[in-house]
Chains A and B, each alone.
Chain A
Amino acid sequence: MDLITLRGIEKTYQMGDIAVPVLKGISLAIRQGELVALTGSSGSGKSTLMNILGCLDRPTAGEYWLDGQEISQLTTDERALLRNRKLGFVFQSFNLLARTSAIENVAMPLTYAAEDLNDREARERAAEMLVRVGLADRLDHHPAQLSGGQQQRVAIARALINHPPVLFADEPTGNLDSKTSEEVLQMFERLNTEDGITIIMVTHDPKVAGHAKRVIRMGDGVILEDAAPISATGGKA
């Protein structure tokens, strides 16, 4: 079953009197357990598509089905709840809270979770996540005391704390050197294969895209190329 289905997604920004179309009818399907790379030159609309996929933004037109739920018309609060339960985010600049220990950074999304964990349970779960990303000995370190790769791994642990089925990564290696980039990408591959988490990364780097099982190349608001092992684009549209 498809986890994500987009049908004719359009996004138009209103710049004063001028309407600027950014996405011009995107249709695509992503199955559970895929590792997808979204590439394209800047201005191609990949970040806008990413924001819509990540439920941070609403499409101007079209349908977005996530896990069997039509979500393009949800209210702001409903989308916040959805992000908390079903989506994880990893950013280019890590976005960790400064002067806050790794474990507290990881536990932060639990504050907004529906399930009511007490302090000890939250810390246990956060520690478990950090162990999983290989930072068992860095629980109480602050972001400033961690390397770039370690910071990004803390961010990945944070994204996974609520056990989401989908993980979004926006240029996850943009601020890392090639060696740590490789480590982070291998972790993505491991999470994908071992835990079956669907991962969607946005990148302009072909080397990063090479780690994906499926590469969607965008340009000027449309999908130019979908090098998926199984052809999904045409059939679903």
Chain B
Amino acid sequence: MRNHPKTIAWCIIMTLCAIGAVANEPAEPVDPGKRVVVSERIIGGDTATTSASQPERAGLVAVRDAETGELRAPTASEWQELASTFDVLNRSDQGLVERTYSDGSVGVRLEGRFQSVSMINRSSSASGEDVVEATCTHSADTVVAKLASTEAAAESQDDDETEAAHDH
């Protein structure tokens, strides 16, 4: 059962130090008449791998529990939600595999990194207008900041709502 994000404030402290995270992949089968891989190298020279359950990032990630106000390690389900976002926003080339082909061309599979992410915020302004802000970002920091700010606002404005969400 996934813990709903309303149960926590997404107060995230991150040191985004990407580590090599791409499993070595075999070269593509040679297709006569097409490009042939003549060399492969792991960018950054780090051949470390990570388990599938961990995000491809290193550093400290903590969440602040809205109920206790204390920092704690994210639960597995919280990791799952955050990691799925952080992975796509990773803009490091470290650990990716660069393939050089017989015709001199070069290709790199981005392994799900360098994605853009659309976010939305629905709220009411102080003037009473319905405010819907849908933005596109490539930054994990932006995602964290938006989630943290809206959670903090929700806490201060409506404790009852937050409490109700704890049961989700």
Instruction: Indicate whether A and B interact.
Output: no
Interface residues of B (CB under 8 A from A): none
Interface residues of A (CB under 8 A from B): none
